[in-house]
Amino acid sequence: MNTKREGATRAVNYLSVLGVLIMLGFFTGDVFGADSFLTPLGPIAEAERTHLIRVIGITMIAIVPVLVGVPLILWRYRRGNKRAVYRPDWTFSKPLEITMWGVPILIICILGFWLWHHTVRFDPYKPLGDNPLQIQVVGLDWKWLFIYPEQGVASVGEMAIPVDRPVSLTLTTDTVMQSFMVSALAGQIYAMPGMETKLNLIADRPGTTLGQNTQYSGEGFAQQKFTVHALPEADWNAWVNEAQKAPLALNTRIYERLARRGSLAEARAALAPEQSAGSLLFSSIPPDLFKSIVSRYHDGTSVTAKQQPGSPAYQSGDEHE
């Protein structure tokens, strides 16, 4: 059985099928999904994309020799090829050793420098400019609450930001560990109950994109997505106005109802049944809501299952409580 030819045929076969299917994938719609850092809406995501390409480029130096070398070696030194040199006791070559240790070390040095530089530069905690828009983010099961303390409004399921203005997010959750991400703007950051994390981002062009939770938090996890609108100034002001005129006001009871397990659709059905789609907007927020959500875990008392939003036993926020 000529296994060499058989192997080569199979390799060509699978590569071509793979190629065809990949092309099929590309042509069946939006190639670079509009919601990822491959089509960035801001400079941070764009820099992250550039970094990705650079890492791939440099690492290829170490990888291409394998992808090219292995087929060549297998072909030339196959057992049937009597013309090839045979050195069964060859076990060491100083130049080869220096190359195989040295080149990767060099690559790591270069990559290490970039890693250092960019990790500092794109640290999520690093402010991106003066007068950032403050948004407080609360992860719930399974939706996101956005509190705009300066504007005195809040929204669930939608985050609107002005273009060309730094945005400073302070995050927590009132349930379990979650991970907040708007790919097209910046990378993700974990949010945890009783703790505050920060994420700074900025949009440099208008657009609508997707935000999500990437840390599994229960049955409705896949529904925990939200829309992000990067709006030009006029539209941003209009959005704030609309929110300030919203019929719903966020108070403790409504917050507790929001905190029950369920998707945005479920919360909407309970709190704004006349609204069949879209996010929930609140025209006012209780003072220090975010602080109280964080600090309730630090007041020295236990939070029982009945009191813990996101637990199966939690039922608060009802008139009939």
Closest to 159 in 3D by CA, of 197, 217, 199: 199
Question: Token digits for 175?
Answer: 């349930």
Which residues is 170 bridged to in the sheet? 136, 198
Closest to 129 in 3D by CA, of 43, 48, 195: 43
Give the nearer residue to another protein in terms of CB position, either 274 or 299: 299
Give the nearer residue to another protein in terms of CB position, either 111 or 246: 111
Residue 108 burial class via C-beta count within 10 angstroms: exposed 0-12, middle 13-18, buried 19 and up = middle
Q: What CA–CA distance (Å, rounded) separates 263 from 140?
A: 9
Give the nearer residue to another protein in terms of CB position, either 208 or 284: 208
CB of 27 to another protein, least distance (A): 9
Contact 194, 202 (CB under 8 A): no
Pairing between β-strand 207-213 and β-strand 158-162 as defined by DSSP bridges: unpaired
Give the nearer residue to another protein in terms of CB position, either 67 or 234: 67
CB of 268 to another protein, least distance (A): 17
CA dihedral 314, 315, 317, 319 (to 10 degrees): -160
CB of 116 to another protein, least distance (A): 5
CB of 298 to another protein, least distance (A): 7
Strand order across the beta sheet in which 207-213 lies: 158-162, 225-231, 207-213, 178-181, 189-191
CB of 24 to another protein, least distance (A): 6
H/E stretch holding 156 reads strand 153-156
DSSP state of 301: S
CB of 165 to another protein, least distance (A): 21
Give the nearer residue to another protein in terms of CB position, either 241 or 304: 304
Give the nearer residue to another protein in terms of CB position, either 86 or 274: 86
Give the nearer residue to another protein in terms of CB position, either 25 or 232: 25
CB of 32 to another protein, least distance (A): 8
Cα-based distances in Å from 300 to 173, 226, 306: 19, 34, 17
DSSP state of 132: P
Residue 66 burial class via C-beta count within 10 angstroms: exposed 0-12, middle 13-18, buried 19 and up = exposed
CB of 180 to another protein, least distance (A): 9
Give the nearer residue to another protein in terms of CB position, either 155 or 308: 308
Question: Token digits for 87?
Answer: 């050195």
Residue whose structure tokens are 């349930």 = 175
